[in-house]
């Protein structure tokens, strides 16, 4: 269940962060409420994750995949663009998360 909670925490964080830009500095109520709810649920789920997955591993996965998904959300939702160095960097982040999951002895599968 730890990885299910982690996936849900990442999705909630991505939704909250995507809404952060739409909140216009917390001046728009709807997007601001989505930010608070998204982050609140993300941290609650992350707390559940830490019962079964080591903190460093969980946070590395959360941060790494969150960065990539936020980058994609920016492209899709806000029509932002990513240059080659940004895409390469995100690819390295994904590779790092894969290395942790495949080779680390601290990850329980």
Where in the sequence is the domain holding 77, given as residue range(s)? 2-103
Residue 29, in any domain of the structure: yes
Sign of CA dihedral 98, 104, 108, 109: positive
Residue 106's pLDDT is what?
Answer: 74
Please list the rounded mean pLDDT of every run of 10 residues in the chain (109 residues): 96 97 96 98 97 90 91 95 94 88 73
Residue 60's pLDDT is what?
Answer: 87
Nearest-angstrom CA–CA distance, 72 and 17: 12
Task: Indicate yes or no: pTM above 0.75.
Answer: yes
Residue 54, in any domain of the structure: yes
Residue 59, in any domain of the structure: yes
Residue 104's pLDDT is what?
Answer: 80
What is the tally of structural domains in the chain? Answer: 1
Residue 19, in any domain of the structure: yes
Residue 109, in any domain of the structure: no
Nearest-angstrom CA–CA distance, 4 and 96: 20
User: What would you measure as the largest C-alpha separation in the chain, in angstroms?
Assistant: 46
CA distances for 8 relative to 12, 48, 64, 82, 88, angstroms: 6, 11, 14, 25, 26
Residue 85, in any domain of the structure: yes
Residue 41's pLDDT is what?
Answer: 98
Residue 52, in any domain of the structure: yes
Residue 108, in any domain of the structure: no
How does DSSP assign 46-64, residue by residue? HHHHTTTS-HHHHHHHHHH
């Amino acid at each position: 269940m730890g990885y299910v909670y982690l996936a849900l925490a990442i999705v909630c964080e991505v939704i909250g962060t995507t809404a952060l830009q739409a909140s216009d500095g917390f001046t728009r109520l709807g997007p601001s409420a989505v930010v608070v709810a998204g982050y609140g649920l993300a941290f609650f789920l992350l707390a559940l994750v830490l019962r079964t997955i080591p903190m460093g591993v969980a946070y590395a996965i959360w941060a790494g995949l969150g960065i990539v998904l936020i980058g994609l959300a920016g492209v899709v939702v806000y029509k932002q663009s990513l240059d080659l160095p940004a895409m390469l960097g995100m690819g390295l982040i994904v590779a790092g998360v894969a290395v942790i999951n495949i080779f680390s002895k601290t990850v329980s599968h």
